[in-house]
Amino acid sequence: MTAPLRIAVIGVGVISAQYFASFPSLPNLRLVAVADLDEQRAAEVAAEQGVESRSVDALLASDDIDAVLNLTIPAVHVQVGTRILESGKHLYAEKPLALSPDEAAPMLLLAAERGLRVGSAPDTVLGTGIQTATRLIDDGVIGQVLTAEASWSAPGHEAWHPNPFFYYQPGGGPLLDMGPYYLTALVTMLGPVVRVSGVSIRSPRERTVATGPRAGEAVPVAVDTGVSGILEHAGGAVSRVSFSFDTWATRAPLFEVHGTSGTIAVPDPNRFDDPVEAWTVEAGDWRTVQPNAGYVGAGRGYGLADMAQAIATDRPHRASGALAQHVLEIMDALPRSSAEHTVITLTTTVDRPEPVPEGARPDSW
């Protein structure tokens, strides 16, 4: 095994706990330091993790760090990510990589010029759930893929999050918050998208924080709260997608892939290892499919570990900046298509990520 990639974390908010929980099972990563604008919070987390707390400036100037995990809020992902790359360190960012594909482009160009890697969440697609569904497609279990349908809905994150305001500002909304999971899964399974048609709405409903110290405060809304669209994949399949913060209840949240001889019920792409079901003409009934691909027992951080292994072996990493930028363009095109009443032809593309083979485990790297 090669020496572990020395990593640091900028931003120790709610999501960071899920990454820290994964690090002990990822021997090719070694956490060195953390930083946050809330220095007291950073010091507390550093003590919990047994590492150093540093200022952002000191962290970026450190020569004992190879890569930085950027867990700041979406509005500053590019600002912080650019600084990380300028410091000569690889970057792995929480989603979305940027607020738009045009905003992400200079950052990816900078990385290419300096020979650095850019990775981005979601890495949930590397778990056994989405990877098993991908394996079924590649093995022709449902014949030629024709269509896919994916929907996610909720009444809004103000119902549970103690500080939900950023979800309703640029970089948030149901599309940029939850869309990356579903759209990254669709590209992983079906390949890149070439054209997009979308419609979007903004609910007039007044929203207030329901829990925590700011309960009762009004939540200003500056983003569309419902977005739907049709995606045309380069391989010929067509996907229908819908994301909403306006749904109080639903009987049938849906993620399915339909082919000429069957259907795959795709598991929640916000999770790593939920079961996959398949219905085929031959079987005539639903069956649960045993996991046959993907990182076993994966959690947030496996995309960063996959990137570390890719650096060590000189191969493309799966949760890449190019994939994140392509998904960003899909998300940018959906509301733009709605506003312009037109079909948008995308300018970016990406190779479908290499499937994760059955039995892959980071402790074997």
Helix ranges, the chain (H) = 16-22, 39-49, 56-61, 77-86, 101-114, 128-138, 173-190, 302-313, 321-340
**What tokens appear for 306 in the block?**
């996959």
Contacts 24+ apart (CB under 8 A), 169-173: 169/75, 169/220, 169/222, 169/223, 170/74, 170/75, 170/99, 170/222, 170/223, 171/73, 171/74, 171/75, 171/77, 171/96, 171/99, 172/74, 172/223, 173/223, 173/224, 173/225, 173/227, 173/245
Q: With contact defined as beta carbons under 8 Å apart, do 297 and 22 qualify?
A: no
- Establish if 329 belongs to a structural domain: no
- Whether residue 338 lies inside any domain: the answer is no
Of the CA atoms within 13 Å of residue 60, those in its CB half-sphere come to 16
When divided into structural domains, the chain yields a total of 1
* 145 in a structural domain: yes
Question: Domain residues for 270?
Answer: 124-289
SS3 (DSSP) at 193: strand
Residue 359 lies in a domain: no
pLDDT of residue 343: 98
CB 33 within 8 A of CB 53: yes
- The pLDDT score that the predictor gives to residue 363 is 56
Q: What is the pLDDT of residues 233-277, one digit of tens each?
A: 999 999 999 999 999 999 877 899 999 999 999 999 999 999 999
111 domain residue, yes or no: no
90 within some domain: no
pLDDT value of position 362: 67
What is the SS3 assignment for 177? helix
The CA distance from 119 to 274, in Å, is 24
Contact by Cβ (8 Å): 178, 151: no
pLDDT, mean of each 10-residue run, the chain (365 residues): 91 95 96 96 97 97 98 94 98 95 96 98 98 98 98 95 91 92 98 98 96 96 97 98 96 90 97 97 96 95 97 96 98 96 97 90 61
Residue 53 belongs to a domain: no
Residue 364 has a pLDDT of 58
Q: What is the pLDDT of residue 1?
A: 58
The pLDDT value given to residue 76:
93
> What CATH number does the domain containing 208 carry?
3.30.360.10
Residue 92 forms part of a structural domain:
no
pLDDT at 172 (0 to 100) = 87
